Each structure stands twice: as C-alpha cells, then as structure tokens.
Structure 1
Amino acid sequence: MIFPRRGWTSRGFNELSKVSDILVNGDYCWTIDWVEQFPGLEDGPMFRSERDQADGIIWRDKEGVSRKLSCNQVWKNLNFFGPKVPWFRLVWFNNNIPMNAFILWMAILGKLKTQDRVKSWELNGNLLCPFCSNVCDSHDHLFFSCEYSMQIWKHFHNKMGIIFILDNWNDLVNKFCNLVKGKSIVVLIRKLVLAGCVAHLWRETNARLFRNLNRNWQEVVSFIEHEIKVEK
C-alpha cells in the first residue's frame, strides 16, 4: 500500500518520522480513515519495534519470511523465473559472447523468424533457404541439416571430437547439454563454438536475404575461429 505524501503529512508525520511514532504501548495507532481505506493495517504486525534498536528496513519475501532488504532479493520475488531448463548453462556462462548467446537463446526457444514462421505473411514470396534454395528454411533445417550449415558444423565437431550429427535441432541441443558439464577449457570452447555457429549462420541468413551479401562456408568458419580466439 502507498500513502500519498499529503495523506501522512496532514496527520503530523514527516520525512523524519519513525515506526515508533505510530506505536503507543506496543499497539498501532492508525487513523480511522486509514484503517477504512486499508483494512489490512489492522491485520499486522507489519513492523516490529524493539527497544534500544534503530529502525531498519527488511523485506518480507513471497514465502512470508523477513529478510535483509537487497535488490537481489526483491528482484527474485517480483519476477517469476520458473524451473531451470537443462540448457541454461549452454547459453549463459562466464566469458560468453553476449550477442551470440542471445541469438542461441532465441534459437533454442524456436523464436528466430525463420521462413517457415513468416511464410503465412508472404503468400506470394519465394521463401526458400538462402543457402541451398531447396526448401523453406526452419530451425531444424538451418541448424544443421542444410548442406551449407552442415559443412560448418562438421568442421567444428570434428575438431571438438564430437561424433554425432542429428537432423532435429532440439535433439542436438539436448545431446550437446551433456557435453558441456564442468568448467574446463574444452567445455568453454564447445559452448562458444555452438553459439558462434548458430549466431553467424543467422547473420549470414539475414545478409543474404536483406543485403544480397554472400560468404562461402569457409569464410564463416574462419570468422568464428577468429572470434573465439579473441574472446577466450
């Protein structure tokens, strides 16, 4: 509940008023109109007054437990994050490349605007994969069923000692989660490589569709390798 400034200054309170100013012999002395406007005032105690102790600020969390006020605690209580997903460490980790991580996050959620998602808006458009021109691109096709993207992925998974290639993007993500446990340099590179492949394939897709710029897959590989070397 929020009391407007005029409301509490008209009752004799000011910026220096304390909790103790509304207590008489341990009982609250709310004005009648406040109680009528905010019935919850009588359901207290909202505050606890202890002798010889200065006023303090606490935060009552969503479980009703009083804690030391902190931005972190308030943020957690005001935002519902839901259960942890199995791929969260695949996307969010120290030393990640923020833009690549963001694009990977969108790809895992299936939220990138691939052509299969926008074809209903472009009924007369020629919506084919900008790399192979065989099918309408999708998350599954782009990562990594298309011949173009498959060449990029094969290059890196051979270097990383990964022996699987899956046609389904979600299966690949789930499988990859088991390969990035721990904090070794190998795990870090694997995560950077996956995010780099996804992000640069998405950038290359947009470059071809909207700017008529084309790079061969070897150029994309070279750029990803350079980026990872610089960042790590």
Structure 2
Amino acid sequence: MGRYGPPGSEINMSKTDIWNMPMPSKPSWGVRGIFRARESAIPHICYSIGDGRKIELWKFPWHPAGVLSSVISRHSTDLSLSSLSLLAQIHHVQRWNPILSIPSLKKAKDLLAKGIFNNSNKNIPIWKPEANGSFTLESAWDSIRVKNPKPPWYSLVWFRVNTPKEAIVVWKSLQNRLPTRDRLPFHVNDKTCPLCSASLESLNHLFFSCGCSAWIWRSLLWRAGWRRKPFRTLSEEGSWIRDKFKGNGQLSTVITKGFQAAIYQIWKERNHRIFENKSTHKTQILKRILGDICFKINQLTTCRDSPHARAIEAAKHFEYKFSDMVRTVQFCSWAKPQKDEVKINSDASLESHCASIGGLIRDDLGMSLAMFILIWKISMSWS
C-alpha cells in the first residue's frame, strides 16, 4: 500500500498490477500523470512469459499484438474462460493446457502461440521500441512524440559543434522572440539601441544593421574569405548561410558557428550595457567570438583538408590547424582501490600561456569524495 497524496489516493500494489489498476478516488497530480502515461505505454509493452501467474489472459498487455480483449473477442475463441482468467490456466513454463489440443480451439492456440515464452518462472517485460527489449527514455520519447519536418533554420541552431546556451538565443532570435526594446510596453521611454545609441532597437537592427554588430559580422565574414555588407534582416542572413554553406565541411562549420557565437555575444553585450552598465569594445567582442570558434573547431575528432581551409590557415585568420589526419583518441578505464582505501586520479596539461592540473578522489565503491583543479598563467619562450 502506498500513498501519494491526500486520503483516497492510496495505491494497493499487492492485489493488482499497474496495467489493470483502477484510478484512485482522489488521485494526486503525480498519480494522474502515471495513469495517463500508462495508456501511452501499453502499445509498446509485451512480456516474455514464464509461469504465467499474475498475468491476466485478456486484460494484461503480455501479447505482442496488444491486450487480447482488444484484439479478439473472448467468446469467439470457445475457451470458456472468464474475463479474470490467468494465463497460467492455459500455459505454464513452456507447457500448454491439453484442452488446447481440441481441433475447435486451433485458431485460439495459433493466436496465443504468437506470444513470447521462456523456460524460467519469471514474466519478463519487453520494451518493443528497442531491439534488446530494454526501456530507454530516448525510445520512449520517440514513440510518443509527433515527428514534424525540420524547420528551415534547423541547421543554424543544431549542428555538431553548437553550444546549447548559444543555440537557445539563436533559436529565439530566428523566431523573433528576443525581448528587444521595440517590443517592450509603451511606458518604457528609452528604446534606443544600447550598442550604437542612434536608432530604435529591434531584432533586425541589432542583427546586423547596428554599426557595432555590422562591423563584428563583416569582420567574421572577411576572415572566412567573404567581403560584403550584412543583409537588412536576420532571416535573410540566415537564408544566405543555409544556401551557401551546406553540409559539415570546415568552412560551413566555421560560418555557422560564427553566426551562432556572434548573435550570442552581441546579445550578451547588449544585456551587460543595459542591466550592468558595463561595456566592452567591439574588438574584444570579436576576439571572444573567434576564441569560441577555435575552441569548438578544435574539439572535432576529424578535420578534413581543403584548399579553402588551407587558405584560411595560411592567412592566420583562425588559430587552428586543418589536417587530414584523425586525432588519436585514448580510452581509459578506472580500477577500484582495495576495500576501505581511496584512490586519486590526476591529469595535467601545459601550453605556452598556461598550465593546469586536476584530480579526483574516489572510494572503493567509485563514489567521488573530493576534486581539485589548479590553473597557472605562465610566460614561456621556446629556444
């Protein structure tokens, strides 16, 4: 017996199963959610039958075809079994009830034989969306969600080196859902752009008609080999990127990541100027965007070579190397310490401008007890 809310919301699990359990008289919000999810899960559940006990023949979702009462009429099978009959009455550990050998019951036996049975005494649930029968949240979500075609802006928001917090800002901007000043209530007096202080702040002005943001975006395009002025609207800019840079090539990744990082950093700078009264020069904003691009590009396992990629590298516009080599990936395993002992694992890195070391202390059960990280800024020259 379990209680998940006020009196009247008790659930007695000892007398019935979750699939046939009636809704409590006064269910809590959580209990109502469980019962709603039950209806969605039934089509994706079946069982590998062992002893068949506690499995109701007609109402339990044990058969791959679904609940039998919804597949075939109980009276059409000539089994003479009540609606509360258990599966064990006709099948028990790989043995059928001799009554099913009667020729008139052949149709019923053929249907029942399509079930999944095992040699043990256990009735094992099977999650049908997964090949191995194990439940996963991913397969559950895919089985119940409505799958719509991808919107045209999908590739500008979700790609292999996107940053989630930046992706959310870009997604909102492409939907025209950012709270720019032109969308604020009428009683707000100052609606000028905080970056240029010359025009009304709107989405299309901020990206990239404003003098500050236009300079940043032109500088990014120039470093990628394109010299042009920004389009008048953000949607036009996004359409140009989608049409010009398709696929997962280096230049496409650089431009798409630059577009995402530029929108995020410009929006971040706008908020800093409004809410914190702090400003950063546009050259520093550009430097942050370039650093973001380089950091993400260097996370790629493979960097394919191309003439345009080598041209960017030769001009030193982006500080990363293109290579047709696959980076070496090391897989490490952790060995537990002896009982009542702890183990410390550490790693360190060294570059020309900084050094760092970190460590993790765990007990014999693998539980984390403490961790540390130290970073030093250094000045080093190589002879």
Specify which structure has the higher proportion of helix.
1
1:92 aligns with 2:126: no
Bigger Cα Rg: 2
Contact conserved, 2:218 with 2:227, CA < 8 A, in 1?
Answer: no
* Pairwise CA distance, 1:87: 2.0
Question: Which residue of structure 2 lines up, in the alignment, with residue 37 of structure 1?
Answer: none
**Percentage identity across paired residues of the two chains:** 22
Q: Residue 74 of structure 1: which of 128, 132, 140 is its match?
A: 140
Unaligned runs of 5+ in 1: 31-39, 61-66
CA distance in 2: counterparts of 1:29 and 1:109, whole angstroms: 47
Contact conserved, 1:207 with 1:213, CA < 8 A, in 2?
Answer: yes
Q: Residue 70 of structure 2: which of 16, 33, 43 is its match?
A: 43
* Pairwise CA distance, 1:215: 1.3
1:141 aligns with 2:168: no
1:214 aligns with 2:279: yes
Question: Which residue of structure 2 lines up, in the alignment, with residue 158 of structure 1?
Answer: 222
Q: TM-score, normalised by structure 1?
A: 0.75
1:228 aligns with 2:293: yes
Question: Which residue of structure 2 lines up, in the alignment, with residue 204 of structure 1?
Answer: 269
CA distance in 1: counterparts of 2:286 and 2:116, whole angstroms: 68
Specify which structure has the higher proportion of strand.
2
1:164-217 per-position Cα deviation (integer Å, ceiling 9, x unaligned): 521011111111112331222211111111011100000000000011111121
* Pairwise CA distance, 1:17: 8.0
Question: Which residue of structure 1 lines up, in the alignment, with residue 258 of structure 2?
Answer: 193
Unaligned runs of 5+ in 2: 1-9, 21-49, 61-66, 73-86, 88-110, 119-123, 298-383
* Pairwise CA distance, 1:78: 2.5
Q: Residue 104 of structure 1: which of 152, 156, 170 is its match?
A: 170
Question: Which residue of structure 1 lines up, in the alignment, with residue 29 of structure 2?
Answer: none
Q: Which amino acid aligns with 1:42?
A: S
* Pairwise CA distance, 1:29: 7.1
Which structure would you say has the larger RCO, counting Cα contacts within 8 Å and 6 or more residues apart? 1
CA distance in 2: counterparts of 1:10 and 1:227, whole angstroms: 57
1:31-63 per-position Cα deviation (integer Å, ceiling 9, x unaligned): xxxxxxxxx973236x97536723542448xxx
Q: Which amino acid aligns with 1:203?
A: K
Q: List aligned pairs for 1:164-183, cutoff 5 A.
A: 164=228, 165-183=230-248
- Give the secondary-structure state (helix, strand or coil) at the position aligned to 1:57: strand
Q: Per the alignment, do residues 89 and 29 of structure 1 end up closer, same or farther by CA in structure 2, a change over 3 Å counting?
A: closer
